[in-house]
Amino acid sequence: MGIVAGGGHAEQLVIHERQAVRVPAGVAVRDAAAIPEVFLTAWDALVVQGGLTSGRWALVHAGASGVGTAAIQLCKAIGARVVVTCSTNKVDSCRALGADVVVDYTSSDFVVEVARATNGEGVDVVLDVIGGDYVERNVACLRTKGHIIQVGTMAGKPAPFNVGALLFKRASITGTVLRARPLEEKIAISQQFEAEVVPLFESGALRPVIHVRMPLTSVAEAHAMMEANANVGKIMLDVQTT
């Protein structure tokens, strides 16, 4: 299994041999496709770049997404605590995955809930796929020397925020993607992932979260489901090969 630079809906894919990651024992190959992109993204953001460790707090937005469901499990696997945001119909799913605090963003302010959960100290790492006006609120959630790892901008147009608040906390915002990295960096992070994270699937601490499986011919329906925000975890496309 592994990450690709694009074209993931193709019937045949090619990656560098040193970038290939062994499928965890006990995980079917067809399910392993739900692992690399979301778990590698979450682990790289929270642990490798964010420095999250046991006993620390993370804030994860879009907790029921593919990256979100991976992030919740990773936090619990390393002994960290996690606050997640999600819509009303996904609160129970996030809680079942192990989230310590689940914030329904349609009815609650995650800044207030983070302060309450952390006794006003804030979180160590924010994993954000939203951007927009979340950025300033993410800064408000940080503790001193905290890190925001920005892995997406689903909100679209950026919103201004008070840079002074970032300076006061001596905090940082890091933008990151996997696709655009040089090959050697992709190889290095893939090999580190195999060594440090794959065993957590084999121990049962982590599992791929699959909302539904659909044939490749139903790709339009799959995208409509995702756009409707109806899924928890991954929507899998089964590809028929000869």
What range does the domain containing 72 cover? 39-175
Same domain, 147 and 204: no
Asked if the structure places residue 7 within a domain, the reply is no
Asked if the structure places residue 219 within a domain, the reply is yes
Give residue 13's pLDDT band: very low, low, confident or very high (50, 70, 90): confident
Same domain, 192 and 144: no
pLDDT digit string, tens, across residues 50-103: 999 999 999 999 999 999 999 999 999 999 999 999 999 999 999 999 999 999
Task: Return the pLDDT at 242.
Answer: 57
Same domain, 60 and 31: no
Same domain, 57 and 81: yes
The segment with the largest mean pLDDT, out of 1-5, 115-119, 177-181, is: 115-119
Pair of tokens at residue 23: 């499928």
Rounded-to-integer distance, Cα 167 and Cα 152, Å: 23
pLDDT digit string, tens, across residues 49-65: 999 999 999 999 999 99
**Residue where a domain stops, chosen among 175, 193, 225:** 175
Same domain, 162 and 214: no
Taking phi first (over 0 means left), then psi (-120 to 50 degrees means alpha), and beta for anything else, what does residue 148 get? Answer: beta
Same domain, 118 and 154: yes
What is the DSSP secondary-structure string of the chain?
A: ----SS-TTSSS----GGG--PPPTTS-HHHHTTSHHHHHHHHIIIIIIT---TT-EEEESSTTSHHHHHHHHHHHHTT-EEEEEE-GGGHHHHHHHT-SEEEETTTS-HHHHHHHHTTTS-EEEEEES--TTHHHHHHHHEEEEEEEEE---TT-S-----HHHHHHTT-EEEE--STTS-HHHHHHHHHHHHHHTHHHHHTTS----EEEEEEGGGHHHHHHHHHTT--SSEEEEEPP--
β-strand 123-128 against 101-104: which pairing, if any? unpaired
Same domain, 131 and 196: no
Same domain, 123 and 188: no
Same domain, 65 and 151: yes
**Predicted model pTM:** 0.95
Same domain, 25 and 134: no
Same domain, 97 and 201: no
Same domain, 111 and 162: yes
**Residue where a domain stops, chosen among 175, 202, 221:** 175
**Residue where a domain stops, chosen among 175, 208, 224:** 175
